[in-house]
Structures are given as structure tokens and as C-alpha cells.
């Protein structure tokens, strides 16, 4: 089998963790021998601006790595539609992913897309609650909640539900919100005023739908300006509520009770997304059963986002298609070509040579 670079790879990255996601795509594309055109998110363009200097210092030939800034509807769309860009690796929201698929279909482009998520964190009564609470809070509040794998739906076993809600609310109330220059800060400002307003709108939606706000929900005291939101916890959230179904992408978490393992799995799967899942239990048999039943591209048992970067990263359902990471990235950025070589005599049926075969 031969592997050949697939050609020019179009890389479209989101505004959350921009430099990390740019490097995740750039490194394997270059290792596979592709040239690349990178289109960073328009809200976070600065980190990509240091890449030319890094590439020059590393000895990468001019023209191998190209950066195009601009809004998605123009620069991104042009990259996806270009007939000489056979591959598109995209990380972003599901709606944009659908538009990319429509455009890429005209040229039968290869696609790898990691899209939205509404990941469940299932906490059973036999779990180590101290560790589970630490993980659940970190999972949705870190990176200001602006992370695709956030465990933004906490599903809690009924016997520990009330205690869990009480402890989550108390801990959330102590989360430090402030500027990144303050070493105590745990949640900073959201990325953009438009996104900040979107997250605030979801808080209002949750209240109108009847969810019980037990922590946060507004600007923290002492921060009179900036896109700041206190760590927010909604309890008594049912699966028909929009805050249960839709990706908020901020420091907002929903808590929902369940009464059986079967109901926990049903609730976990009751969204259009399937990116990540987190399971907390001391019962190994249950852990395997639930992990096998939950519809998620990546599942963690009694841990949070601790992974080997060579393992496949990606989701199912509306959370995307394809996988990247390790060998999976090489598979995407190269074309495999099979060469069959005869090492001995080959018997071939002799069509047209007569009844006796000539």
C-alpha cells in the first residue's frame, strides 16, 4: 500500500481554544505532506498571526502554510467551494457544518467535521461524589464553558439528586469570575458581546421554561463591564426544555434526575448531539453497559477529558463525521493506493482460447 498526500487541505478553526485547534489540524496535515490553507475564526484571529514566524523558524518552505483571514460566509465559503482544495477539516457549530457539506458535495470533497455537543455527565448513587462534583464543575465551567466537550447536562441518580444539586450550587457560587490577569480567576469573560448576549438569552429561556435557578444567572458583583457571567446551575430540568436540548456554550449547566440505569441512558441519548459522555460509578459492569449504550463518539468513565492525543477525536449524530488524531489524521490527509505485485506464476482463465483453453 502506498500513501500519497491528498493535496491542499482547507482547515477552518473555531474561536474557542484557537491556537490549540489550529495546531491540531496543521501538524498532521503537514506530516502527511499536504500544503494547507488555514482560515481562523474571525473573532480570534491573533493567535494564527504568530504561525508564519513559527513556520519560518522551523524551516517550512514558503507557500506550504497559507493563512486567510475573513468571515466564514466569505473566506470560509470560498475555501470550501474551491475545486483545487480536496479536503476540508472543520471544527465549529452544526449549522455551519451542514452548509459546508452542501458546498463540498459539488466536488466530492473529503470532510472531517467536529461539530456541536450537548454532552451528558451521568452520576450514579454509588459514585465518588466528591470526585464527580469536581469533574462535573470543571467539565462545564472550564474555558468559560466555551468548549465542545462540555458536560453541560448533569444526570443525577435520584437518591443523590438533592445532595448533588445543593453541593453543585454551593460550589458554583464560589467559582471566581474575573479578568485573566488575576491568577485567582476560574471563569473569564465570554469571547464576544454577541455570544455573551446569546448565553444570557438562554438563561432567560431556562427561567421561562420553569427550570429552577440555584446558582448564578447574572453578572457577578463588582464586574460592571465586560462579558462576564457567574457560574450558572439550573435544577429540575426536563428533556423538553431548550436548555436541555440546545448547545449554550457558556458556564451554564442543567441538572436532571433519573430513577434507573435505563432512564439515565435514555436521557443521555435524548438530544440530536453525540460528541462526549461522562459516567461516574463504582460498578464496573454498569460502567461498561452504560458506555456501550450511550450515543457518543468519546466516553470517559470516572475521569474527565484525560486522553491519549493519538486516539480518535470526534462525534456521532449531529456532532460531526470523521475522526482525527494519530493514525486517523494520517488516514484523512492521505490517499491510500494499493499496488498488487505478482511474486510467482499466475494462472489466468484464457477467455476466447477455445474449449481446451488453447
> Which residues are catalytic, by number?
114, 148
How far CA 304 is from CA of 97, 108, 173, 301, 317, in Å, comes to 26, 36, 22, 8, 22
CB 89 within 8 A of CB 218: no
All residues at 6 or more sequence positions from 310 whose CB lies less than 8 Å from its CB, including other chains:
325, 326, 327
All residues at 6 or more sequence positions from 200 whose CB lies less than 8 Å from its CB, including other chains:
229
Of 46, 20, 15, give the one whose Cα is nearest residue 313.
20
- Separation CA 55–CA 69 (nearest Å): 17
Angle of helix 129-141 relative to helix 158-173, nearest 10 degrees, comes to 50
DSSP state of 76: I
Residue 209 CB: number of other CB atoms within 10 A? Answer: 15
Amino acid at each position: 500500500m502506498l500513501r500519497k498526500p491528498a493535496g491542499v487541505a482547507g482547515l477552518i478553526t473555531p474561536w474557542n481554544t484557537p491556537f490549540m485547534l489550529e495546531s491540531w489540524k496543521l501538524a498532521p496535515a503537514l506530516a502527511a505532506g499536504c500544503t494547507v490553507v488555514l482560515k481562523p475564526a474571525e473573532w480570534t484571529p491573533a493567535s494564527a498571526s504568530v504561525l508564519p514566524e513559527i513556520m519560518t523558524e522551523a524551516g517550512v518552505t514558503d507557500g506550504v502554510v497559507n493563512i486567510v483571514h475573513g468571515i466564514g460566509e466569505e473566506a470560509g465559503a470560498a475555501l470550501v467551494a474551491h475545486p483545487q482544495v480536496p479536503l476540508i477539516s472543520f471544527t465549529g457549530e452544526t449549522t455551519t457544518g451542514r452548509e459546508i457539506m452542501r458546498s463540498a458535495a459539488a466536488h466530492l470533497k473529503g470532510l472531517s467535521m467536529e461539530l456541536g455537543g450537548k454532552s451528558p455527565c451521568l452520576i450514579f448513587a454509588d459514585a465518588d461524589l466528591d470526585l464527580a462534583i469536581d469533574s462535573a464543575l470543571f467539565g462545564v465551567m472550564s474555558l468559560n464553558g466555551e468548549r465542545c466537550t462540555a458536560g453541560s447536562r448533569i444526570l443525577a441518580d435520584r437518591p443523590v439528586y438533592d445532595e448533588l444539586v445543593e453541593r453543585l450550587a454551593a460550589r458554583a457560587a464560589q467559582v471566581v469570575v474575573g479578568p485573566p490577569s488575576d491568577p485567582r480567576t476560574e471563569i473569564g469573560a465570554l469571547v464576544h458581546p454577541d455570544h455573551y448576549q446569546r448565553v444570557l438569552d438562554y438563561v432567560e429561556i431556562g427561567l421561562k421554561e420553569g427550570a429552577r435557578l440555584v446558582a448564578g444567572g447574572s453578572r457577578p458583583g463588582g464586574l460592571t463591564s465586560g462579558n462576564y457571567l457567574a457560574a450558572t446551575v439550573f435544577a429540575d430540568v426536563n428533556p423538553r426544555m431548550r436548555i436541555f436540548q440546545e448547545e449554550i456554550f457558556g458556564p451554564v449547566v442543567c441538572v436532571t434526575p433519573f430513577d434507573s440505569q435505563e432512564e439515565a441512558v435514555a436521557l443521555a441519548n435524548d438530544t440530536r448531539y453525540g460528541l462526549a459522555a461522562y459516567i461516574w460509578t463504582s460498578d464496573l459492569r454498569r460502567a461498561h453497559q452504560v458506555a456501550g449504550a450511550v450515543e457518543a463518539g468519546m466516553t470517559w468513565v470516572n475521569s474527565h477529558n484525560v486522553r491519549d492525543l493519538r486516539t480518535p477525536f470526534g462525534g456521532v449524530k449531529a456532532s460531526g463525521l470523521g475522526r482525527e488524531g494519530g493514525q486517523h489524521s494520517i488516514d484523512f490527509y492521505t490517499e491510500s493506493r494499493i499496488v498488487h505485485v505478482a511474486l510467482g506464476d499466475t494462472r489466468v482463465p484464457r477467455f476466447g482460447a477455445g474449449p481446451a483453453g488453447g
